[in-house]
Amino acid sequence: MSLTFTKLKAEFRCINDSCGATYDLNEIVYECRKCGSLLQVSHDMGALKEKSGKEWKDLFDSRLGSVKFPNSSGIWNKREWVLPHVEDSDIVSSGEGLSHLFNSERLTKHFGLGGLWIKQCGISHTGSFKDLGMTVLLSQVKHMLGKGVKIKAVACASSGDTSAALASYAAKAGIPAIIFLPAGKVSQAQLIQPVSNGAKVIALETDFDGCMKIVKEVTKEAGIYLANSMNSLRIEGQKTIAPEIVQQLEWKVPDWIIIPGGNLGNVSALGAGFEMAKDLGLIDKLPRIVLAQAENANPLYLSYLKNFEEFNAVDAKPTLASAIQIGNPVSVQKAIRTLKKFNGVVEQASEAELSDASAKTDLLGLYNDPHTGVALAALYKLMAKGTISKGDQVVVISTAHGLKFTEFKLKFHEGKIPGTDSKLVNVIRSCKPEVGAVMDEISRFLQVNA
C-alpha cells in the first residue's frame, strides 16, 4: 500500500487539550492565539495508519543508507512523519541524522548494564543535534517563501549550537540569519561558526534567558521568523532521533533514554517520536525518560522534587555545560507533559560530577561534550540509587561533538576544575629526546595501565 504525500496532512495544534486550536503550517505563529500555550505539529494519524507497523518498518529500512536525495538524510527518509507537504525542491538538507549509536563491551561492562549505547547526535553537519530541527524549519520557511509569505530573515537566541545550525542552513537556503548570543558565554568553536556562515551575530551583555527575551520581541516584527525550539517545527526534526534509535536496535525499545536538558525541547521531541512509533505499530512499548540538568541550571529538577506541582524559573549560574545554562526554559510545559507520560525522572549533576563522568567514559573510547557528561553523571547517580538497575538497557543522548568544547577538555586535564578526580587527569609529559628517558616514561605508563 502506498501513500501519496498530498494525502497526508499536518498542522499546528495547541498543546492545551481543553483548547485544541489549530493553525496552518504556513502561518507565522509560535504560541496559541487563544490561550497562550505552546503549539505542536499534529499529523493525520488516521491516514498514517493506512500503513501497518510492518509496512512502515519495511519502508524506513529500505531507505536506510540511501545515497538518493532526500533519503540520504535521516530526517527526510521519514518525511511522511515530518513535513509531508514540502516538495523536494524546498528541502534544505546537509545529510543530517543517521548518527552513530556508539556501543562497546567495555562501556557496557563498566556500568554493569544489559546494554548501553550513546546516540552521537553531534556527528552532524554543524556538530550538534540542532541540525535535525533546523533542516525542517528552513525547509518550511523556503516552502512558505514560495507561497508568497513575507519573511525577510530568520532569528534565534542561542547558547552556541542553535546559532551554528541556523546560520549554516540559512546560508544554504540563501536566507539572512540574525543571531543573539550571551557575550562571553559561548565557546570559541561555537562562536565562529555563525560568523563564518555570514549571519548577523549580536552579542548581548546578558545570559541565554535574556537573549531569549530579546529575540521573542524582535520576531514580533513582520518578516523576522523565530527559529528557537518554541517554534514546534524544530521538534519535528528532532523527534526522528527516537525512531532512528529503535531502527538501529532492530526495532527493539531500550528501557531508558537519558537526555541532557536546557531549553527542554528535546524531551518533548523524543517523546513525540516514540509515541508516534508506538501509535503506528512499529514498537509495542515506551521507554522511560531521564532528563538530566546541570546543578547550576536546574529549574526542572527543583520542580520534579515537588512532583511538578509548581515550576519556578531560576537565575542560571555559570556551568561548564554552557548550552544548557538556562534558568527559564521555553519548552517546560511540553517537557513536563512528556515526563509524566513516560514515567520520567529528573536528575542533576554538579560541575565535578559532569566533568568526571565525561572523563571516565572518554577513557572507554568516547570524546564527550560537557552536556553528555551531565547525562552520564545522571546515569551513575541513578544506578547508585537503584532507579536504573543492572541489566537494564540504556541509551544516552549525546547532543554535540566534543571538539566544540576543547577548552573544557584542556581545563580538566590541566587539573583546573575544582573537586574532580585527580586520577582521571592525563598530564602531557615532557621528555628529553633520548631513548632511555622515553623508555622510562613508557614503563611508568604501562605499569599504571597493567
Q: State the Cα–Cα distance between residues 348 and 194, nearest whole angstrom.
A: 30
Torsion of CA 34, 231, 181, 310, to 10 degrees: 60
Indicate whether 290 pLDDT > 90.
yes
pLDDT tens across 82-127, in order? 999 999 999 999 999 999 999 989 999 999 999 999 999 999 999 9
Q: Is the distance from CB of 325 to CB of 318 less than 8 angstroms?
A: yes
Residue 66: count of CB within 10 angstroms of its CB: 13
What is the pLDDT, as a whole number, of residue 445? 87
Amino acid sitting at position 313: A
What is the pLDDT, as a whole number, of residue 401? 93
Indicate whether 3 pLDDT > 60.
no
Range 189-210 average pLDDT: 92
CA 163 distance to own-chain centroid: 14
Within a domain: residue 240?
yes
- Bridge-based pairing of strands 177-182 and 101-102 is unpaired
Q: At what angle do helices 241-248 and 53-63 cross, to 10 degrees?
A: 90
Task: Write the DSSP assignment of 73-122 as a string of letters.
Answer: STTGGGGGGS-TT--GGG---SS-----EE--HHHHHHHT-SEEEEEETT
Range 64-86 average pLDDT: 95
Number of domains in the chain: 1
Q: State the Cα–Cα distance between residues 336 and 37, nearest whole angstrom.
A: 13
Q: What is the CATH number of the domain that holds 282?
A: 3.40.50.1100
Which residues share a beta bridge with 346? 291
Q: What is the pLDDT confidence band of residue 1, given thresholds at 50, 70 and 90?
A: very low
Q: What is the pLDDT confidence band of residue 388, given thresholds at 50, 70 and 90?
A: very high
Inter-residue long-range contacts of 111-115, CB under 8 Å, 24+ positions, other chains counted = 111/379, 111/383, 111/394, 112/383, 112/390, 113/388, 113/390, 113/391, 113/392, 113/393, 113/394, 114/255, 114/390, 114/391, 114/392, 114/393, 115/254, 115/393, 115/394
Range 227-233 average pLDDT: 92
Q: What is the pLDDT confidence band of residue 186, given thresholds at 50, 70 and 90?
A: confident
Query: Which residues are CB-neighbours of 192 under 8 A, at least 6 positions away?
Result: none
Residue 251's alpha-carbon distances to 1, 242, 274, 322, in angstroms, are 21, 11, 11, 34
Within a domain: residue 120?
yes
Range 416-434 average pLDDT: 93
Within a domain: residue 4?
no
Which residues share a beta bridge with 153? 224
What is the pLDDT, as a whole number, of residue 6? 53
> Out of 8-22, 180-194, 354-368, which region has the weakest mean confidence (pLDDT)?
180-194
Torsion of CA 147, 152, 156, 161, to 10 degrees: 80
Residue 321's alpha-carbon distances to 208, 355, 370, 381, in angstroms, are 13, 9, 5, 18
Q: What does the mean pLDDT of the chain come to?
A: 94
State whether residue 434 is helix, strand or coil: coil
Which residues share a beta bridge with 24? none
Task: Extract the C-alpha cell encoding 383.
Answer: 544506578
Q: Is the distance from CB of 156 to CB of 162 less than 8 angstroms?
A: yes
pTM of the model: 0.93
Q: What is the pLDDT confidence band of residue 59, given thresholds at 50, 70 and 90?
A: very high
What is the pLDDT, as a whole number, of residue 2? 45
Residue 8: count of CB within 10 angstroms of its CB: 18
Within a domain: residue 213?
no
Sign of the torsion formed by the C-alpha atoms of 15, 21, 22 and 28: negative
> Which residue has 616514561 as its cell numbers?
441
- Which range marks the domain in which residue 393 is found? 101-127+232-423
What is the pLDDT, as a whole number, of residue 301? 98
Q: What is the pLDDT confidence band of residue 38, given thresholds at 50, 70 and 90?
A: very high
434 burial via Cβ count (<10 Å: 0-12, 13-18, 19+) = exposed
Within a domain: residue 361?
yes
Q: What is the pLDDT confidence band of residue 279, given thresholds at 50, 70 and 90?
A: very high
What is the pLDDT, as a whole number, of residue 429? 87
φ/ψ of residue 261, rounded to 5: -130, 135
